[in-house]
Amino acid sequence: MKRAFDIALSALALIAIGWLIVLLIVVVRLSSPGPGLFVQERVGRTRKNFVCYKLRTMYVETPSAATHHTSLSAVTGPGRLLRRFKVDELPQLWNVLKGDMSFVGPRPCLPIQRELIDERQKRGVFDLRPGITGLAQVQGIDMSQPERLAEMDATYKREQSFVFDLRLIAQTMMGRGIGDRIRC
């Protein structure tokens, strides 16, 4: 049921707001040099890496690092707004449709985040598809706390249900949680 929900909702959302995503890609592209889309390798289900899509919110020359290790000065003007309202995540609807991600699950990490990968591996978190949002994000836990994050991801794995996912999606849409440590 979860995968059917992901396919149906992501397809409908892409049809309904695909034009907005394209418009935002153009805005990002015109606001600073570089592409409008940010494409980055992330660790997914069964530790298989996949390409994750987001709207680019940082300058092109920003080093690839976990967000909590990135300075606020790396964020572009439009990027601050995109991040504040979590609109930078919209291209991940494509990742959901393809099956790389789900609407709800542990946030996908970078392959260089070894401590988090090890903690998640210990707890069986890689049995899940990563999500656009998740229990840890709603609780305000980000990737700067690998052990705590992995434990919250494991809690989600134990307690997941369709109704729980709907609650987490609603809480995310209402602005609950901090996402990452860059304050915009």
Residue 184 belongs to a domain: no
pLDDT mean across residues, the chain: 91
**What is the domain count for the chain?**
1
Triad 134, 112, 177: Cα angle to 5°: 25
The DSSP result for 74-92, as a single string, is GB-HHHHHHHHTTGGGTTH
Q: Find all residues with CB under 8 Å of 126, minimum gap 6, and list them.
A: 43, 45, 46, 47, 120
Domain span at residue 158? 2-173
pLDDT at 183: 42
Residue 77 belongs to a domain: yes
pLDDT (tens digit, 0 to 9) for every residue of the chain, 184 residues total?
Answer: 999 999 999 999 999 999 999 999 999 999 999 999 999 999 999 999 999 999 999 888 776 656 665 677 778 889 989 988 889 999 999 999 999 999 999 999 999 999 999 999 999 999 999 999 999 999 999 888 999 999 999 999 999 999 999 999 999 888 776 655 554 4
Residue 182 belongs to a domain: no
pTM exceeding 0.85: yes
Buried b / exposed e along 148-181 (16+ C-beta atoms within 10 A): ebbbbbbebbeebeeeebeebbebbeeeebebbe
Residue 179 belongs to a domain: no
